[in-house]
Copies of this chain bind each other. A is one copy, B any other.
Amino acid sequence: MIPAPDPAFAAEVRAAIDGKTKPPGSLGRIETLAERLALLLGTVEPRLGTCSLTIFAADHGIVARGVSKWPQAITAQMALNFLAGGAAANAFAGALGVSLRVVDAGIAAPPDHPGLIDRRMGAGTADSASGPAMSAETRDAALAAGRALALEDPADALAFGEMGIGNTAAAALLAAKLLDLPVEELAGPGAGLDAEGLARKRAILAEAAARTGPLTASEALAEYGGFEIAMMTGALLGAAEARKPALLDGFIAGAAALAAERVAPGAARAFVHAHRSAEPGHAAILAALDADPLLDLGMRLGEGTGALLAWPLVKSAAAMLREMASFEAAGVSGPS
């Protein structure tokens, strides 16, 4: 989707970064981030002033099998908590000047709140351990809705989060199919399963994965994805299409990113992986995407909290490239 950078422009970007008043490479990963942003935006003076967070919320049929410690009702309750401003994502977004919207991608029993954006694909997915989570038509509708939400977003950078009890199970199944790895290796404790609960989750997911053979990314999204994961995949494709940096949280967003890159190779050039999740599946996804998250703060909440905390780094990297003086312009000497 996004082509490899033009070598001449890439050299121009590198020279602009190296000409800034600092020892070459001394800003470490902020320099490589600035380089990626410049290549994505097609300018050596990238301007990233605003960021939005879109949280996709949905429920999962497989939760009835016992893959989560938390009741399904939490999804709707947390959606309401986002809308009331009481969640971690609200606190971070407020502190960091990021706008926040909440999309009902398919909550089982959605809360009645005028702020909730209705893109419902159903009252939760079907149980993917016994059949497809959603139809091909619903998957396409979810992808299209996500794409449209990203394209209509006026912010310079788009952060994405999710809420859905059971969605680490869906993400593990999706990643297992996309990476051709045993789902047991990718499944983790999610929001706090103990060893016994995790063993049960892994057994259920192994049964679900055994239901199908090799799948394309599109097929895997319908068979195992959640509505929020499919819609986020569409939103990531929309962000890439708009050449806007997409800030990705952890494991769930990583699974959506992997699906997006498989659907439209090159899309991942727009993705900024914000935070390394403790979920074992995230490491496998990151390796497949050759990505190394900016932050590693031991968080495992989702909601876009990791993506939010990376926004100041993204903003600062762009500002570095746009605003720093060159050695020449500042009259600063080089090394002896």
Contact = CB atoms under 8 A, between A and B. Distances in A.
A86 B332 CA distance: 11
A111 to B, nearest CB: 10
Contact of A81 (B21, B24, B70, B81): B21
A309 B313 contact: yes
Interface stretch (A203-211, A216-224, A320-328): A320-328
A215 interface: no
A86 B329 contact: yes
Interface stretch (A27-35, A36-44, A141-149, A282-290): A27-35
Contacts of A332: 74, 77-78, 81
A331 interface: yes
Interface in A288-331: 294-301, 305, 308-309, 311-313, 315-316, 318-320, 322-325, 329-331
A333 to B, nearest CB: 5
Nearest to A20: B88
Contacts of A23: 70, 191-192, 300-301
Nearest to A298: B28
A4 interface: no
Contacts of A95: 312, 315-316, 318-319
B325 A86 contact: yes
B330 A21 contact: no
Give the size range of A's interface with the partner: 35 or more
Contacts of A24: 192
Contacts of A298: 28-29
Given A70-B336, A336-B69, A301 B27 contact: yes
Interface string A209-250: 000000000000000000000000000000000000000000
B330 A86 contact: yes
27 contacts: A21-B81, A23-B300, A23-B301, A24-B192, A26-B300, A27-B88, A28-B298, A29-B297, A30-B309, A71-B333, A74-B333, A77-B330, A77-B333, A80-B331, A81-B325, A86-B323, A87-B324, A87-B325, A90-B323, A91-B320, A91-B323, A95-B315, A95-B318, A95-B319, A96-B315, A309-B312, A311-B312
| A-B residue pairs, 4 tightest by C-beta | A28-B298, A86-B325, A312-B312, A95-B319
Interface of A: 20-24, 26-30, 69-71, 73-74, 77-78, 80-81, 84-88, 90-92, 94-96, 191-192, 294-301, 305, 308-309, 311-313, 315-316, 318-320, 322-325, 329-333, 335-336
